[in-house]
Amino acid sequence: MSSSAGIASLGDLTGKRVLVRSDLNVPLDGAAITDDGRIRASVPTIAQLADAGARVVVVAHLGRPDGSPDPKYSLQPVAARLSELLERPVAFATDTVGASATATVAGLQDGEIAVLENVRFNDGETSKDDDVRGAFADQLAQLADAFVSDGFGVVHRKQASVYDVALRLPSAMGGLVAAEVDVLRRLTDHPERPYVVVLGGSKVSDKLGVIDNLIDKADKLLIGGGMVFTFLKAQGHEVGKSLLEADQLDTCTRYLSEAEDRGVEILLPTDIVVDTAFPSDDRAPEPSVVPASKIPSDALGLDIGPESAAAFAAALSDAKTVFWNGPMGVFEVGAFADGTRAVAQALTEVDGLSVVGGGDSAAAVRQLGFDEAAFGHISTGGGASLEFLEGKELPGIAVLERD
């Protein structure tokens, strides 16, 4: 059985064991969670299931533990934080499909919640072998009567707890995934105009598919972050020691030409905040602002400059639809955060749909102290949102929507 409908399609959940795939992949400093945004985003669906009388079994991953247990990637601190946010007890199993998981799930009463240990401690989760992955999915499915997919950050992965389990149990989208898909379809299917796409981050190569798919849909394309230097070099400017993807110069030249042919405005920074070295703990930043066309040979660009930040904000001022993915600079360091801050501020003032595309952009919004409610939507999945906007099929969505 499958369903692209919501949890209601699963019927009465009282007493049923519901395996919910959440995205609890949060950054840790030791055992301390430094950004709990994804945990908070997972709370509504988990609470909804528990309130419906389900025995909720949460499965999730943390980091890349390479298919075997690694204490530094344990979900135990995440389970503790989830309990605080839910304001109710959350049991924790010290394995995913072993004796602890079996006993923990068996001990649940109606409305109670358990978190299983990191699903990626099992090599079957991410195996490329369908049979290996399927065997692990069989073990997961034995723990539940139904499956709810609510981890948007992983729906672009064909993994056991995302894809294969949905083939084995009555399945539905959780509220978080349903909301993400709805918003992203609004960005690709007849978006309200003007439609502005803001792209940053380090590499052009990470955004090729998005640019290819949106260059004929957007009215304006604003480029910042490390990826801008490949565009500047393609225009014939020197970029000093700035990040450069020489193998993408022809691609950037093509984008600039295509945009001109299609009447799409590509806005590049006119000034850049530079330093002679990348920020580090043992060196204070020494930022200076230079024209984008005159970056010194001994300098590297680390943020868009104030003139560019103002131009980007102005370009967003009349937008009705905005998608933003990737910071404008090294926002983690105050001296190079102003460009990202300006873009985020402009998004809060958009009279329409403003979407923050997950990943570093979402982290920047939180780190820079913005009220998340001021944005139309903050995605929990940077990679998944990019692949959706590239026009790719997402396995974790397709499996729920199959006939």
Residue 284 three-state SS: coil
**Is residue 226 annotated as part of the catalytic site, yes or no?**
no
Other CB atoms within 10 Å distance of the CB of residue 365: 25
| Omega of the bond leading into 194 within 30 degrees of 0 (cis) | yes
Q: Which one of the listed residues 17, 21, 38, 341 is annotated catalytic?
A: 38
Catalytic, 383? Answer yes
Question: How far is 43 from 33, CA to CA, in rounded Å?
Answer: 16
Q: Which of 322, 328, 354, 323 is nearest to 341 (CA)?
A: 328
Which residues contact residue 125 at a Cβ distance below 8 angstroms, ignoring those fewer than 6 apart? 61, 67, 119, 133, 136, 159, 160, 161
- Report the SS3 class of residue 381: coil
Distance CA(302)–CA(339), nearest Å, equals 10
| Sign of the CA dihedral running 169, 103, 84, 383 | negative
Residue 217 is among the residues annotated as catalytic for this protein: no
| 55 vs 317: CA distance, rounded Å | 47
**Of 397, 388, 403, which is closest to residue 163 (Cα–Cα)?**
397
Residues forming the annotated binding site?
23-25, 38, 61-64, 120, 157, 207, 301, 332, 358-361
Q: Who contacts 132 (Cβ-Cβ below 8 Å, separation ≥6)? A: 123, 124
Spatial separation of the C-alpha atoms in residues 184 and 180, rounded to whole Å: 6
**Which residues line the annotated binding site for ATP?**
207, 301, 332, 358-361
| DSSP at 94 | S
Distance CA 333, CA 52 (A): 45
- Catalytic hit among 203, 254, 320, 366: 203
Known catalytic residue at 17: no
SS3 273: strand
User: Per-residue DSSP letters for 303-351?
Assistant: EE-HHHHHHHHHHHTT-SEEEEES-SS-TTSGGG-HHHHHHHHHHHT-S
The two structure tokens encoding residue 390: 């590239």
Binding-site sequence positions for substrate: 23-25, 38, 61-64, 120, 157
346 within 8 A of 224, measured Cβ to Cβ: no
* Catalytic pick among 359, 381, 382, 396: 359
Q: Which residues are catalytic?
A: 38, 203, 359, 383
